[in-house]
Protein backbone atom coordinates (compact mmCIF):
# COMPACT_ATOMS: atom_id res chain seq x y z
CA UNK A 1 0.00 0.00 0.00
CA UNK A 2 1.51 3.40 -1.03
CA UNK A 3 2.49 5.81 1.71
CA UNK A 4 -0.10 8.50 2.41
CA UNK A 5 0.97 11.90 1.07
CA UNK A 6 1.79 14.47 3.74
CA UNK A 7 1.75 18.29 3.71
CA UNK A 8 4.82 20.29 4.73
CA UNK A 9 3.59 22.06 7.90
CA UNK A 10 6.59 24.41 7.91
CA UNK A 11 5.26 26.39 4.92
CA UNK A 12 2.12 27.77 6.62
CA UNK A 13 0.11 26.98 9.72
CA UNK A 14 -3.49 25.80 9.56
CA UNK A 15 -4.70 29.22 10.76
CA UNK A 16 -2.70 31.03 8.06
CA UNK A 17 -4.13 28.83 5.29
CA UNK A 18 -7.66 29.40 6.60
CA UNK A 19 -7.04 33.16 6.61
CA UNK A 20 -5.85 33.08 2.99
CA UNK A 21 -8.87 30.96 2.03
CA UNK A 22 -11.23 33.53 3.53
CA UNK A 23 -9.65 36.46 1.64
CA UNK A 24 -9.12 34.67 -1.71
CA UNK A 25 -11.55 35.72 -4.48
CA UNK A 26 -10.43 33.32 -7.20
CA UNK A 27 -12.62 30.20 -6.97
CA UNK A 28 -9.95 27.92 -8.42
CA UNK A 29 -7.31 28.98 -5.88
CA UNK A 30 -9.87 28.71 -3.06
CA UNK A 31 -10.47 25.06 -4.00
CA UNK A 32 -6.73 24.35 -3.90
CA UNK A 33 -6.39 26.09 -0.54
CA UNK A 34 -9.32 23.99 0.66
CA UNK A 35 -7.32 20.87 -0.20
CA UNK A 36 -4.59 21.99 2.21
CA UNK A 37 -7.15 22.90 4.89
CA UNK A 38 -8.89 19.52 4.66
CA UNK A 39 -5.57 17.72 4.99
CA UNK A 40 -4.86 19.72 8.17
CA UNK A 41 -8.30 18.64 9.41
CA UNK A 42 -7.34 14.99 9.09
CA UNK A 43 -8.77 13.94 5.74
CA UNK A 44 -6.79 11.73 3.38
CA UNK A 45 -6.31 12.52 -0.30
CA UNK A 46 -9.14 10.21 -1.38
CA UNK A 47 -11.58 11.82 1.06
CA UNK A 48 -10.43 15.29 0.05
CA UNK A 49 -11.06 14.45 -3.63
CA UNK A 50 -14.69 13.60 -2.87
CA UNK A 51 -15.18 16.77 -0.81
CA UNK A 52 -13.77 19.19 -3.44
CA UNK A 53 -15.16 17.13 -6.35
CA UNK A 54 -11.77 16.62 -7.96
CA UNK A 55 -9.93 13.47 -8.96
CA UNK A 56 -7.50 11.92 -6.53
CA UNK A 57 -4.66 12.58 -8.99
CA UNK A 58 -5.52 16.29 -9.10
CA UNK A 59 -5.59 16.54 -5.32
CA UNK A 60 -2.22 14.82 -4.98
CA UNK A 61 -0.75 17.01 -7.75
CA UNK A 62 -1.52 20.22 -5.89
CA UNK A 63 -0.42 18.78 -2.56
CA UNK A 64 2.95 17.97 -4.15
CA UNK A 65 3.19 21.37 -5.84
CA UNK A 66 2.41 23.07 -2.52
CA UNK A 67 5.17 21.08 -0.81
CA UNK A 68 7.68 22.08 -3.53
CA UNK A 69 6.78 25.73 -4.14
CA UNK A 70 4.47 26.80 -1.32
CA UNK A 71 1.56 29.06 -2.29
CA UNK A 72 2.98 29.73 -5.76
CA UNK A 73 2.55 26.02 -6.46
CA UNK A 74 -1.22 26.42 -6.23
CA UNK A 75 -1.33 28.96 -9.06
CA UNK A 76 -1.77 28.05 -12.71
CA UNK A 77 1.46 27.56 -14.63
CA UNK A 78 1.56 29.17 -18.11
CA UNK A 79 2.04 26.67 -20.89
CA UNK A 80 5.68 26.56 -22.05
CA UNK A 81 6.41 28.11 -25.41
CA UNK A 82 3.22 30.20 -25.46
CA UNK A 83 3.63 33.96 -25.29
CA UNK A 84 0.74 36.09 -24.15
CA UNK A 85 -0.78 38.05 -27.01
CA UNK A 86 -1.34 41.05 -24.75
CA UNK A 87 1.59 42.35 -22.69
CA UNK A 88 1.27 43.58 -19.12
CA UNK A 89 1.75 47.17 -20.32
CA UNK A 90 -1.09 46.73 -22.81
CA UNK A 91 -3.24 45.14 -20.11
CA UNK A 92 -2.83 48.28 -17.99
CA UNK A 93 -3.76 50.39 -21.01
CA UNK A 94 -6.88 48.27 -21.56
CA UNK A 95 -7.78 48.54 -17.88
CA UNK A 96 -7.58 52.33 -18.09
CA UNK A 97 -9.76 52.50 -21.22
CA UNK A 98 -12.42 50.18 -19.73
CA UNK A 99 -12.98 52.75 -17.01
CA UNK A 100 -14.34 55.03 -19.72
CA UNK A 101 -17.40 54.51 -21.89
CA UNK A 102 -16.84 53.04 -25.37
CA UNK A 103 -17.84 56.38 -26.93
CA UNK A 104 -15.19 58.16 -24.88
CA UNK A 105 -12.75 55.58 -26.28
CA UNK A 106 -13.77 56.37 -29.87
CA UNK A 107 -16.19 53.48 -30.40
CA UNK A 108 -19.73 54.15 -31.66
CA UNK A 109 -21.50 51.95 -29.10
CA UNK A 110 -22.79 52.48 -25.57
CA UNK A 111 -21.51 49.43 -23.71
CA UNK A 112 -18.34 47.37 -23.55
CA UNK A 113 -18.67 43.86 -24.97
CA UNK A 114 -16.23 41.25 -26.18
CA UNK A 115 -16.46 42.26 -29.83
CA UNK A 116 -16.21 45.97 -28.94
CA UNK A 117 -12.98 45.39 -27.04
CA UNK A 118 -11.76 43.21 -29.93
CA UNK A 119 -12.22 46.11 -32.38
CA UNK A 120 -10.58 48.56 -29.99
CA UNK A 121 -7.53 46.32 -29.60
CA UNK A 122 -7.27 45.92 -33.38
CA UNK A 123 -7.54 49.67 -33.87
CA UNK A 124 -5.39 50.97 -31.04
CA UNK A 125 -2.92 48.12 -30.38
CA UNK A 126 -2.81 46.76 -33.94
CA UNK A 127 -3.33 43.19 -32.70
CA UNK A 128 -5.77 40.54 -33.82
CA UNK A 129 -7.41 38.63 -30.95
CA UNK A 130 -10.54 36.50 -30.67
CA UNK A 131 -13.68 37.56 -28.83
CA UNK A 132 -13.02 34.78 -26.28
CA UNK A 133 -9.57 36.26 -25.65
CA UNK A 134 -11.25 39.60 -24.96
CA UNK A 135 -13.53 38.00 -22.40
CA UNK A 136 -10.48 36.33 -20.83
CA UNK A 137 -8.87 39.78 -20.61
CA UNK A 138 -11.99 41.15 -18.89
CA UNK A 139 -11.87 38.23 -16.45
CA UNK A 140 -8.19 38.81 -15.67
CA UNK A 141 -8.91 42.49 -15.02
CA UNK A 142 -11.76 41.51 -12.62
CA UNK A 143 -14.55 42.88 -14.81
CA UNK A 144 -17.83 41.01 -15.06
CA UNK A 145 -20.48 40.92 -17.79
CA UNK A 146 -23.68 42.85 -17.15
CA UNK A 147 -26.81 43.04 -19.25
CA UNK A 148 -27.26 46.41 -20.94
CA UNK A 149 -30.55 48.16 -20.29
CA UNK A 150 -32.86 48.63 -23.25
CA UNK A 151 -33.06 52.18 -24.57
CA UNK A 152 -36.20 53.82 -25.94
CA UNK A 153 -35.22 54.89 -29.46
CA UNK A 154 -38.11 57.39 -29.61
CA UNK A 155 -37.15 59.24 -26.45
CA UNK A 156 -36.21 62.90 -26.52
CA UNK A 157 -32.45 63.09 -25.78
CA UNK A 158 -32.97 66.39 -23.96
CA UNK A 159 -35.45 64.74 -21.58
CA UNK A 160 -33.49 61.53 -21.09
CA UNK A 161 -32.35 60.81 -17.55
CA UNK A 162 -29.70 58.54 -16.09
CA UNK A 163 -29.84 56.27 -13.07
CA UNK A 164 -27.77 58.80 -11.12
CA UNK A 165 -30.60 61.38 -11.24
CA UNK A 166 -33.48 58.98 -10.65
CA UNK A 167 -35.39 59.68 -7.46
CA UNK A 168 -36.02 56.88 -5.00
CA UNK A 169 -38.03 56.53 -1.82
CA UNK A 170 -38.17 53.45 0.41
CA UNK A 171 -41.05 52.88 2.82
CA UNK A 172 -40.26 50.96 5.99
CA UNK A 173 -43.39 49.62 7.64
CA UNK A 174 -44.50 47.40 10.52
CA UNK A 175 -47.96 46.45 11.78
CA UNK A 176 -49.25 45.01 15.01
CA UNK A 177 -51.77 42.52 13.55
CA UNK A 178 -53.69 42.31 16.84
CA UNK A 179 -54.17 46.03 17.55
CA UNK A 180 -53.80 47.52 14.06
CA UNK A 181 -51.03 49.91 15.14
CA UNK A 182 -48.93 51.00 12.15
CA UNK A 183 -45.37 52.30 12.09
CA UNK A 184 -44.01 53.72 8.84
CA UNK A 185 -40.91 55.62 7.76
CA UNK A 186 -40.15 57.20 4.38
CA UNK A 187 -36.42 57.10 3.59
CA UNK A 188 -34.19 57.91 0.63
CA UNK A 189 -32.65 54.41 0.58
CA UNK A 190 -33.00 50.91 1.97
CA UNK A 191 -29.81 50.64 3.97
CA UNK A 192 -28.44 49.92 7.44
CA UNK A 193 -28.67 53.50 8.76
CA UNK A 194 -32.34 53.91 7.78
CA UNK A 195 -33.21 50.43 9.04
CA UNK A 196 -31.63 51.24 12.41
CA UNK A 197 -33.61 54.49 12.48
CA UNK A 198 -36.82 52.54 11.83
CA UNK A 199 -36.07 50.06 14.61
CA UNK A 200 -35.52 52.98 16.97
CA UNK A 201 -38.86 54.44 15.85
CA UNK A 202 -40.66 51.19 16.74
CA UNK A 203 -38.84 50.84 20.06
CA UNK A 204 -39.81 54.40 21.03
CA UNK A 205 -43.45 53.84 20.10
CA UNK A 206 -43.95 50.59 21.96
CA UNK A 207 -43.06 51.86 25.45
CA UNK A 208 -40.65 49.01 26.19
CA UNK A 209 -43.11 46.26 25.26
CA UNK A 210 -41.67 43.06 23.80
CA UNK A 211 -41.74 43.29 19.98
CA UNK A 212 -41.18 40.41 17.57
CA UNK A 213 -40.45 41.86 14.14
CA UNK A 214 -40.83 39.56 11.13
CA UNK A 215 -38.28 40.34 8.38
CA UNK A 216 -37.30 39.09 4.96
CA UNK A 217 -33.64 38.51 4.09
CA UNK A 218 -32.68 41.89 2.65
CA UNK A 219 -28.98 42.57 3.17
CA UNK A 220 -29.51 45.50 5.54
CA UNK A 221 -31.73 43.30 7.74
CA UNK A 222 -28.53 41.37 8.53
CA UNK A 223 -26.16 44.33 8.89
CA UNK A 224 -22.74 43.76 10.42
CA UNK A 225 -22.81 43.93 14.19
CA UNK A 226 -26.61 43.55 14.43
CA UNK A 227 -26.36 41.05 17.31
CA UNK A 228 -24.58 43.69 19.42
CA UNK A 229 -26.49 46.74 18.15
CA UNK A 230 -30.02 45.52 18.96
CA UNK A 231 -29.47 44.71 22.70
CA UNK A 232 -27.71 48.05 23.17
CA UNK A 233 -30.15 50.28 21.23
CA UNK A 234 -33.55 48.53 20.92
CA UNK A 235 -33.49 45.78 23.57
CA UNK A 236 -37.26 45.18 23.42
CA UNK A 237 -37.10 44.11 19.73
CA UNK A 238 -36.36 40.60 18.45
CA UNK A 239 -36.01 39.85 14.73
CA UNK A 240 -37.45 36.71 13.12
CA UNK A 241 -36.41 35.99 9.53
CA UNK A 242 -38.71 34.37 7.00
CA UNK A 243 -37.47 31.60 4.69
CA UNK A 244 -36.47 32.77 1.21
CA UNK A 245 -39.31 33.54 -1.20
CA UNK A 246 -41.94 33.40 1.56
CA UNK A 247 -42.73 37.10 1.94
CA UNK A 248 -46.47 36.33 1.71
CA UNK A 249 -46.19 34.91 5.26
CA UNK A 250 -45.63 38.44 6.56
CA UNK A 251 -48.96 40.07 7.53
CA UNK A 252 -47.62 43.49 6.47
CA UNK A 253 -47.73 42.39 2.82
CA UNK A 254 -51.54 42.64 2.94
CA UNK A 255 -51.19 46.29 3.92
CA UNK A 256 -48.80 47.03 1.04
CA UNK A 257 -51.12 45.33 -1.45
CA UNK A 258 -54.04 47.43 -0.18
CA UNK A 259 -51.92 50.58 -0.44
CA UNK A 260 -50.81 49.90 -4.02
CA UNK A 261 -54.39 49.12 -5.08
CA UNK A 262 -55.68 52.42 -3.70
CA UNK A 263 -52.79 54.73 -4.60
CA UNK A 264 -50.63 53.63 -7.51
CA UNK A 265 -52.59 51.05 -9.54
CA UNK A 266 -53.78 52.41 -12.91
CA UNK A 267 -52.69 55.91 -11.92
CA UNK A 268 -50.19 58.11 -13.76
CA UNK A 269 -48.56 60.78 -11.60
CA UNK A 270 -47.11 63.91 -13.19
CA UNK A 271 -44.11 63.83 -10.85
CA UNK A 272 -42.48 61.39 -8.48
CA UNK A 273 -43.08 63.78 -5.59
CA UNK A 274 -46.85 63.59 -6.19
CA UNK A 275 -46.68 59.78 -5.92
CA UNK A 276 -44.81 59.99 -2.61
CA UNK A 277 -47.24 62.62 -1.34
CA UNK A 278 -50.20 60.39 -2.26
CA UNK A 279 -48.67 57.46 -0.37
CA UNK A 280 -48.04 59.57 2.72
CA UNK A 281 -51.58 60.94 2.75
CA UNK A 282 -53.13 57.49 2.32
CA UNK A 283 -51.07 55.89 5.12
CA UNK A 284 -51.73 58.85 7.42
CA UNK A 285 -55.50 58.38 7.00
CA UNK A 286 -55.23 54.60 7.30
CA UNK A 287 -53.39 54.89 10.62
CA UNK A 288 -56.54 56.38 12.11
CA UNK A 289 -58.49 53.22 11.35
CA UNK A 290 -56.72 50.56 13.40
CA UNK A 291 -59.66 48.17 13.10
CA UNK A 292 -59.33 48.12 9.33
CA UNK A 293 -55.56 47.56 9.55
CA UNK A 294 -56.11 44.65 11.95
CA UNK A 295 -58.54 43.09 9.46
CA UNK A 296 -56.07 43.60 6.60
CA UNK A 297 -53.21 41.99 8.50
CA UNK A 298 -54.61 39.02 10.44
CA UNK A 299 -52.26 37.08 12.67
CA UNK A 300 -51.75 33.80 10.75
CA UNK A 301 -49.24 31.92 12.93
CATH assignment of the domain containing 262:
3.30.420.10
Structural domain harbouring 93: 88-140
Residue at 164 is within a domain: no
On whether the CB atoms of residues 293 and 257 are closer than 8 A, the answer is: no
Residues 276 and 177 in one domain: yes
Residues 51 and 121 in one domain: no
What own/partner pairs with CB < 8 Å and gap ≥ 24 does 272-276 have? Answer: 272/167, 272/169, 273/167, 276/169, 276/186
Whether pLDDT at 27 is above 90: no
Condensed to tens digits (0 to 9), the pLDDT of residues 48-86 reads 988 888 888 898 899 999 998 888 888 876 655 444 678
Condensed to tens digits (0 to 9), the pLDDT of residues 122-142 reads 999 888 888 888 888 888 887
Residues 275 and 225 in one domain: yes
Residues 184 and 130 in one domain: no
Residues 272 and 231 in one domain: yes
Residue at 156 is within a domain: no
What percent of the chain lies above the pLDDT cut of 70? 88
Which domain-ending residue is among 50, 74, 98? 74
Residues 69 and 177 in one domain: no
Work out how many domains the chain is built from and give that number: 3
pTM above 0.85, yes or no: no
Residue at 146 is within a domain: no
Residues 58 and 131 in one domain: no
Residues 210 and 291 in one domain: yes
Q: What is the mean pLDDT of residues 3-24?
A: 85
Amino acid sequence: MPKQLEINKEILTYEQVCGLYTMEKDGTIKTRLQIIILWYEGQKSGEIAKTVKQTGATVRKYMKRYNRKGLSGLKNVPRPGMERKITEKEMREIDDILKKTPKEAGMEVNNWRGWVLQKWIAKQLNKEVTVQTCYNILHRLKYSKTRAKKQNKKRDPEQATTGETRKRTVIFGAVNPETGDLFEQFSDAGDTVNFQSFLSLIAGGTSGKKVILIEDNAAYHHFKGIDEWIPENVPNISLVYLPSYCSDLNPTEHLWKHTRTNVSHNTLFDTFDLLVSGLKDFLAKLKGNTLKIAKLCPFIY
